A and B are shown apart, each in its own frame.
Chain A
């Protein structure tokens, strides 16, 4: 999920109007929410901080998708250099 949501960062410019990309996210969400392993899991998964950060990105991507906007997807400086 983190990777899929990270996809726009791997381009200099990303077309949020791309329906195929959002279909991919949707399909992934469906398969995860239906996965038995997940339902049965006793252990809570993911950091609690992720809840609002994921939500922020979902919200942001959804708005950009609704706008059908092409955006220059900037990255923080540290992510530009391989460590």
Chain B
């Protein structure tokens, strides 16, 4: 993959990226309709595919919070056409990485030392790129570490990124501006938290310890003396991501075991800790060769306020003994009713 030597940091530069995408999306519609004149079999799915690709290309060059928003959208799988989703799932694994000199520069700013003065080995290129940082592999003696480095300028760009991404969110998610505003505040707050790596380490340790008793879960150890506001050093967890795991044809038993560990992890966080790893996308989990589930990246933690918890989960208490049609009707009604009722 092509490495980026700089990220567009000014708002104007970023806005230009999006303008380009806007034009391209418009162009795709044109292309679609003119192609359709000749080939009526062309489906809407093809069109969505074209759009998703262009938007993804623009977003991945932006990194930072814009990429995060792409992730958010891809999480809401069911609210997006399939074509968008497949494309955005890629955002969860790999974005074009920063070049090595930029990594060294970040290290020198933080530790006054380059990575090779701290570690014995340090991979020149990133092993994984996350939305607001990238992960390098490093070693000291026989210990292997994962070193996550935050993209420079991310924290400063959150607010302006969100403003830029607004029109896209409205169009893609098909929601009203009012509704978007309501959510954007929450998103902004969470994104700013994610750029605070010191907070992330503290929360990672807190939740890892609280969940240590849960079967089949593995958490890396975090190294505070090798971390800072923009760098996190933790144990390297070996294993496969979900897609690779599924490609390896696991048995039903193995799949259920991983699933159960995941369920138990969330059940405990939500109902006991009332604090939850709110970023459950496949890139944040590693399935280890021994069948255990490794949890990495606690960047996004949602603290669940008590009054919200009570209202939201009151609904799981009642037994539902109605037929399918009735159930469907209630689901639909409830979306309107329950949503405004639980307005807080």
- Which A residues have a C-beta under 8 Å from some C-beta of B? 1-4, 6-7, 9-10, 16, 22, 24-26, 28-34, 37-53, 55-56, 58-60, 62-64, 66-76, 78-79, 82-83
Contact = CB atoms under 8 A, between A and B. Distances in A.
Query: In terms of DSSP, what is the predominant structure of the interface of chain A?
Result: helix
A74 B264 contact: yes
Query: In terms of DSSP, what is the predominant structure of the interface of chain B?
Result: helix
Interface residues of B, number: 70
B280 A47 contact: no
A53 to B, nearest CB: 7
Contact of B174 (A34, A46, A73): A34
B344 A1 contact: no
B267 interface: yes
Interface string B247-259: 0000010011011
Given A48-B182, A70-B259, A53 B342 contact: no
Contacts of A83: 317
Given A39-B176, A63-B280, A49 B305 contact: yes
Interface in B277-315: 277-282, 285, 300, 302, 304-305, 308, 311-313, 315
B315 A6 contact: yes
21 contacts: A3-B338, A6-B316, A28-B331, A29-B76, A32-B335, A33-B175, A46-B339, A46-B340, A47-B311, A48-B186, A49-B186, A49-B304, A49-B305, A53-B312, A66-B246, A67-B262, A72-B263, A74-B263, A74-B264, A75-B316, A76-B267
